[in-house]
């Protein structure tokens, strides 16, 4: 089986991932308008919502692929990630930060020790 690489997925796969992600973003934007969180329609905010949703969906797709998540579950998670938009990115950021923080603190400590700062 060939190594998974962003360039090995078909165009159709990316089209579906983007459609599911953007669909989630559209629903999120509609809810913002309906709930009064957005005063009036703004094309800039609308496009920003869709781009953020697409990015969150594609990143979720890659993470699901790397973890071996089944396709149907991946599609559901991509849609949810698209709906959550920037909140998804924030969650991924926090998880990555928790994973990397101990490693980075160790590297800083080693660098200080090698310079004789401690």
Give residue-wise pLDDT tens across range 90-111. 888 888 888 888 888 888 888 8
23 is a domain residue: yes
pLDDT of residue 74: 95
pLDDT of residue 117: 58
Q: Which domain holds residue 31?
A: 11-86
Q: How many domains does the chain have?
A: 1
pLDDT of residue 12: 93
Cβ contacts of 84 within 8 Å, gap of 6 or more: 24, 28, 56, 91
pLDDT of residue 1: 44
37 is a domain residue: yes
114 is a domain residue: no
70 is a domain residue: yes
Torsion over CA of 35, 88, 17 and 59, rounded to 10 degrees?
Answer: 160
95 is a domain residue: no
92 is a domain residue: no
36 is a domain residue: yes
65 is a domain residue: yes
Q: Is 79:23 a contact under the CB 8 Å cutoff? A: yes
Residues of the chain with pLDDT under 70: 1-3, 116-118
């Amino acid at each position: 089986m060939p190594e998974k690489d962003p360039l090995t997925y078909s165009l159709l796969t990316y089209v579906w991932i983007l459609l599911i992600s953007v669909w989630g973003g559209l629903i999120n934007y509609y809810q913002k308008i309906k709930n009064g969180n957005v005063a009036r329609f703004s094309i800039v905010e609308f496009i920003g919502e869709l781009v953020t949703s697409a990015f969150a969906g594609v990143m979720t797709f890659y993470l699901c692929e790397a973890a071996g998540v089944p396709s149907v579950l991946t599609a559901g998670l991509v849609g949810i990630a698209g709906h959550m938009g920037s909140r998804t990115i924030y969650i991924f950021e926090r998880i990555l930060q928790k994973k990397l923080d101990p490693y980075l603190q160790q590297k800083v400590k080693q660098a200080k020790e090698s310079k004789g700062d401690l």
